[in-house]
Amino acid sequence: MNRLARIVESFSGKRIVVIGDAIADQFIYGEISRVSREAPVFILRHEHTETTPGGAGNCAANLAALGARVDLISTLGSDEPGKILYTKLREAGVGCDGVSVTSERRTPTKVRVLAGQIHSTRQQVIRIDYDSEPDLSAELQEILSTDIAKALTGADGVIISDYNYGVADPKITEVVRKAVGPGVPVLVDSRFRLSSFSDFTSATPNEDEVDQLLGIKHTDPLALESAVEGLRQRLGYKALLVTRGGHGMTLIEAGNAPLRIDGQVDCGRNEFLKTGLRGFDRIAADRQRQKPIFSGDIARCRASLVCSGVGGGDCHPGDHGAGRIVNDSEDRAGHVGSRRLGGHSEENQQRRNGACYKCVAYVHF
């Protein structure tokens, strides 16, 4: 218990630079009032709209919530979602001096419409994505390069969060290599092009991304582990942690046997939640074998709790401490599972965790 508590507390005071695509996650809640006469669809009475940091913004907000000093390097549009997202990041304690706001770009926004009857749980019925073009102007690239070089001075760790919206371009890897201090870990989460970010500390591809990189689908866990070890060597990483949805995650480290981390967690009332477990929250590349194991346990407990809610969120030390992780039969955890799980499909639980709790395994900082 003390070991886990110390891991969580160790975030405090660390300075982490997050480089990547900040996304506005927007949730529109509505109550079903009737069926439309115009088409066989529901008419919703709007209740409220929430906007939360997504993508690299979610990663930065989580790190700040754990007590780290976080600098975010990203771009936002001067549109309404960008203004709201910038305010949310500031309120979360994220350093935004490296966030460039421009009228040249649209803020990537994912709008989720959630509907339900008066006393029922709101469920997602559709998602609308407002994408931003991946190509940045030469002027904006120069600004980002300058901000990155400046922010990396004295950093304890670097996170590259690539959602293919242009900020975490493979070109910035050379800027990172030149500016980052010796021995400073650089962690990568690239949704579409991990092979373009080689020779860094660690990364967290999901199982589908591994299959795409290798050009073959692996159904056997042992074959997958062997293939990932070959991929790790080819890309020059110290560790790769493959997230496998409800099957948990598999850690492949140089010099160690593969480590499988179960994806099912008892949240306190025998409600086993299959977790989506992807993103930075499971990155584990520490030289000490104990740390990835502990961080994986922390990540899966927190991911199982957040899967029972909607969207991503901030993880706070009080949510991860000994009372929540070691004794995960604590009553509050059970309440969270029983109160918010109802009505959500297993598929939605896994997808909803896609961008949340992106920092739990950074114990090696």
- Rounded to whole angstroms, the Cα distance separating 332 from 334 reads 5
pLDDT at 206 over 60: yes
pLDDT number for residue 135? 84
Question: What are 310's two structure tokens?
Answer: 């909607």
pLDDT number for residue 134? 83
pLDDT number for residue 277? 34
What's the distance, CA 157 to chain centroid?
16
Asked if 8 and 320 count as a contact pair (C-beta separation under 8 A), the reply is yes
Domain span holding position 197: 2-352
- The pTM (predicted TM-score) of the whole model is 0.78
Q: Do the domain assignments include residue 148?
A: yes
pLDDT number for residue 328? 37
Amino acid identity, position 273: L
pLDDT number for residue 240? 92
**Considering all CA atoms of the chain, what is the largest pairwise distance in Å, rounded to the nearest integer?**
65
- CATH code of the domain in which 32 resides: 3.40.1190.20
- Rounded to whole angstroms, the Cα distance separating 166 from 144 reads 11
- Average pLDDT of the residues of the chain: 77
pLDDT at 303 over 50: yes
pLDDT number for residue 338? 30
How large a percentage of the chain has pLDDT more than 90? 48
pLDDT number for residue 295? 52
Q: Do the domain assignments include residue 119?
A: yes
Q: Do the domain assignments include residue 116?
A: yes
pLDDT number for residue 181? 83
| Best CA proximity match to 358, nearest among 137, 163, 101 | 163
Q: Do the domain assignments include residue 361?
A: no
Q: Do the domain assignments include residue 56?
A: yes
Question: pLDDT tens digit string along 60-79?
Answer: 998 998 889 999 999 999 99
Question: How large is the average pLDDT for residues 113-132?
Answer: 93
Radius of gyration of the chain (CA): 20
Structural domain count, the chain: 1
The residue among 306 and 4 whose pLDDT is bigger is 4
Q: How many alpha carbons fall within 13 Å on the CB side of residue 260?
A: 11
Q: Do the domain assignments include residue 359?
A: no
Range of weakest confidence among 74-78, 128-132, 344-348: 344-348
pLDDT number for residue 314? 60
Per-residue three-class SS string for the chain: CHHHHHHHHCCCCCEEEEEECEEEEEEEEEEEEEECCCCCCEEEEEEEEEEEEEEHHHHHHHHHHCCCEEEEEEEEECCHHHHHHHHHHHHCCCEEEEEEEECCCCCCEEEEEEEECCCCCCEEEEEEEECCCCCCCHHHHHHHHHHHHHHCCCCCEEEEEECCCCCCCCCHHHHHHHHCCCCCCEEEEECCCHHHCCCCCEECCEHHHHHHHHCCCCCCHHHHHHHHHHHHHHHCCCEEEEECHHHCEEEEECCCCCEEECCEEECCCCCEEECCCCCHHHCCCCCCCHHHHHHHHHHHHHHHHHHCCCCCCCCCHHHHCHHHHCCCCCHHHHHHHHHHCCCCCHHHHHHHCCCCCCCCCCCCC
pLDDT number for residue 4? 63
Q: Do the domain assignments include residue 357?
A: no
Question: How large is the average pLDDT for residues 1-8?
Answer: 66
pLDDT at 81 over 50: yes
Question: pLDDT tens digit string along 226-282?
Answer: 999 999 999 999 999 898 887 888 899 998 999 888 766 554 433 333 333 333 343
Q: Do the domain assignments include residue 205?
A: yes
Question: How large is the average pLDDT for residues 154-167?
Answer: 93
| Best CA proximity match to 160, nearest among 210, 201, 217, 221 | 201
